Amino acid sequence: MKIFLTLLAGAAIVVVAVVLTQTPTPQAATPAARPNRLQDNVSALQDRLRRVPGDSAGWAQLGASYVELARVTADSTYYGKAQGALERSLSVKPDGNGPAMIGMGALANARHDFTTAKDWALKAKAVLPSTAEVYGVLADALTQLGDDAGAADAVQRMLDLRPNVAAFTRASYHFELHGQDAGAKDTMELALRSATSPDEIAFCRYYLGELAFNAGNVDSAADEYDQGLTASPQDPALHQGKAKVAAAHGQIDAALDGYREVVARAPLPQYLLEYAELLRKAGKDAEADQQFALIAQQQRLLEAQGATDDLSASLIAADHGDKAEALRRAQAEWSRRQSVFVADAMAWALHVNGRDAEALPYADKAVSLGWHNPTVVRHRAAILAGAR
């Protein structure tokens, strides 16, 4: 694949700045300021659209800003606002409205409606075939749908059109899913080299840290998180990384303090779950239950706003809730998409229900690309043991 040629030529690539799709936006000085900046942008766009209601591009920008606000604040009510703004853009300009199509695709990805996201991305591609953001939306959707070859082609097109942080990070994830750790790290370092803002630097350092952490190199991960915090001292993801490192070193009190601050500023489901599991490990069951209740509340709010995440719900239920519900949720997600991510959820849900022989083909599917995520590997090992 040409991705490998791109990597070999990485030192010669001239990188340009870009507004990221589903990655931190580059304008904010720090992630803590990003919601305020986005709110300011929303207010400015609203003022303009009151004066110029026929501005289709303005409505598309407003919709995209709402999608980003939902992502960084975990406030799902922005999804409905995003849909309203994007639909208004399409009503003003129903034909050839590529920006609104890209926005609708990004919104569908955020709602985990990946088939719809793919459809919108293909519509946008027909209108804007040389726009990199189109292929970012398409790559994200196809990755989640389990179309590995299609996702790789979309990432390659991004690299061809605009070799920047958005493209390099997706290429890095492609390598990670294929168990090619060196390629994932090298490509993420290309992303870091191309970063043009504190947010982009923080984002790249965080994922370099994640690659190191998942490979068992905890001290290297800590160093990456520290370097990221130098660029963006308030970044919640980097503080989550530091809390995770503290937990790995057995510094449970420090880890709990770190997670407590992280979820107070960024109550994202991933952080809430890690915090809840650590609280449970520390014997703080009542506090853990509060975090699990928040996760359940978020799930209900997401579903009320048109989002579906049976994958996460299944994995949480398998480890912390109703085993039958875990399997029902996994089967519902599998009926929509057969990716390695959902294969792992299916395998684990079957395992906790005592059905290891049925789980094993799904566990094999989960690692079929070469992915060796520690949790996925642990799940498969337990299933192999149970199937003997």
Q: Which of 17-21, 137-141, 200-204 has the lowest mean pLDDT?
A: 17-21
In a domain, 293, yes or no: no
User: Do 171 and 317 belong to one domain?
Assistant: no
In a domain, 218, yes or no: no
Residues 6+ apart with CB under 8 A from 279: 256, 285, 287, 288, 291
Please report, for the domain that includes residue 366, its CATH number: 1.25.40
User: Do 171 and 313 belong to one domain?
Assistant: no
In a domain, 130, yes or no: yes
CA-closest candidate to residue 137, choices 157, 75, 336, 178: 157
Phi, psi at 55, each rounded to 5°:
-85, 95
User: Do 18 and 163 belong to one domain?
Assistant: yes
Report the Cα 301 to chain-centroid distance in Å.
19
In a domain, 354, yes or no: yes
pLDDT band at 6 (very low <50, low <70, confident <90, very high): very low
pLDDT band at 152 (very low <50, low <70, confident <90, very high): very high
In a domain, 378, yes or no: yes
The predicted structure's pLDDT at residue 308? 87
The domain boundary residue, chosen from 151, 181, 211: 181
Mean predicted lDDT score pLDDT of the chain: 90
- 54 by Cβ neighbours in 10 Å (0-12 / 13-18 / 19+) ranks as exposed
Is the pLDDT confidence value at 4 over 70?
Answer: no
The predicted structure's pLDDT at residue 175? 98
* Structural domain count, the chain: 2
Q: Coil, helix or strand for 22?
A: coil
Contact 118, 138 (CB under 8 A): yes
Write out the residue range of the structural domain in which residue 122 sits.
Answer: 1-181
CA atoms of 18 and 107, how far apart (whole Å): 19
The domain boundary residue, chosen from 154, 181, 208: 181
Is the pLDDT confidence value at 131 over 60?
Answer: yes
The crossing angle, in degrees rounded to 10, of helices 165-177 and 198-214 is 10
Q: What is the pLDDT of residues 40-72, one digit of tens each?
A: 899 999 999 999 999 999 999 999 999 999 988
The predicted structure's pLDDT at residue 210? 97
A 10 A CB-CB count for 388 gives: 5
The domain boundary residue, chosen from 132, 160, 181: 181
CA atoms of 351 and 375, how far apart (whole Å): 14
In a domain, 240, yes or no: no
CA atoms of 365 and 220, how far apart (whole Å): 30
Percent of the chain with pLDDT over 70: 91
Q: What is the DSSP code (8-state) at residue 376?
A: H
In a domain, 44, yes or no: yes
CA atoms of 204 and 210, how far apart (whole Å): 10
In a domain, 282, yes or no: no
Section 105-114 average pLDDT: 96
Scanning 162-268, the segments in alpha helix (DSSP H) are: 165-177, 181-194, 198-214, 218-231, 236-248, 252-265
Please report, for the domain that includes residue 8, its CATH number: 1.25.40.10
